[in-house]
Chains A and B, each alone.
Chain A
Amino acid sequence: MQLIAIDWIILGVYFVFVLGIGYALRRYMRTSTDYFLSGRSIPAWVAGLAFLSANLGAQEVIGMAASGAKYGMATSHFYWIGAIPAMVFLGVFMMPFYYGSRARSVPEYLKLRFDEKTRGLNAISFAAMTIFSSGISMYAMALLTNLLLGWSFGFSIWICAGVVLLYILFGGLTSAIYNEVLQFFLIVFGFAPLVFVGLQRVGGWDGLHAALQEVATSRGFADGAWTQTWSITGDAAANPMGLEWFGIAMGLGFVLSFGYWCTDFLVVQRAMAANSMSAARRTPLIAAVPKMLFPFLVIVPGMIAIALTQHADTSGFALPPKADGSLNYDLAMPMLLVHYFPHGLLGLGITALFASFMSGMAGNVSAFNTVWTYDIYQAYLRSGASDRHYLNMGRIATVVGVCLSVAAAYVANRFNNIMDMLQLLFAFVNAPLFATFLLGMFWKRATGHGAFFGLLAGSLAAALHHGLTLPRGATVGVKGGWLTVLDSYPSEMAQNFWTAIYAFSACLVLTIAISLLTKPRDEKSLVGLVYALTPREVSQEAAWYTRPAPLGCAVLAAMILLNILFW
Chain B
Amino acid sequence: MGLDVRLPIGLMFSIMGILLSGYGMLAARTEHASLNVTWGLAMLAVGALMLWLSRRSRR
Q: Which residues of A contact B (CB under 8 A)?
A: 6, 9-10, 13-14, 17, 20-21, 24-25, 28, 38-39, 41-42, 46, 174, 178, 181-182, 185, 189, 193, 197, 340-345, 348
Contacts and interface: CB of A to CB of B under 8 A. Distances in A.
B51 to A, nearest CB: 13
Contact of B8 (A28, A174, A182, A189): A182
B5 A189 contact: no
A41 B8 contact: no
B12, B15, B46 — most chain A CB neighbours (10 Å): B12
Given A6-B19, A348-B16, A342 B35 contact: yes
Contact of A181 (B9, B15, B19, B36): B9
B19 A197 contact: no
Interface of B: 1-3, 5, 8-9, 11-13, 15-16, 19-20, 23-24, 27, 30-33, 35-36, 39-40, 42-43, 46
Contacts of B32: 197, 340-342, 345
B3 A24 contact: yes
Contacts of B43: 189
**Which secondary structure characterizes the binding site on chain A?**
helix
B10 to A, nearest CB: 10
Contacts of B16: 10, 13-14, 348
Contacts of A340: 32
Contacts of B36: 342, 344-345
Contacts of B46: 185, 189
A348 B35 CA distance: 12
A312 B27 CA distance: 30
A189 B15 CA distance: 14
Contact of A13 (B2, B3, B19, B30): B19
Given A10-B19, A189-B43, A28 B24 contact: no
A353 to B, nearest CB: 15
25 contacts: A6-B19, A10-B16, A13-B12, A13-B15, A13-B16, A13-B19, A14-B16, A17-B12, A21-B8, A24-B8, A46-B5, A174-B1, A178-B5, A178-B8, A182-B9, A189-B13, A189-B39, A189-B43, A193-B39, A342-B24, A344-B19, A344-B23, A344-B27, A345-B20, A348-B20
Contacts of A24: 3, 8
Q: Which of B8, B15, B27 has the most CB of A within 10 A?
A: B8
A42 B1 contact: yes
A20 B1 contact: no
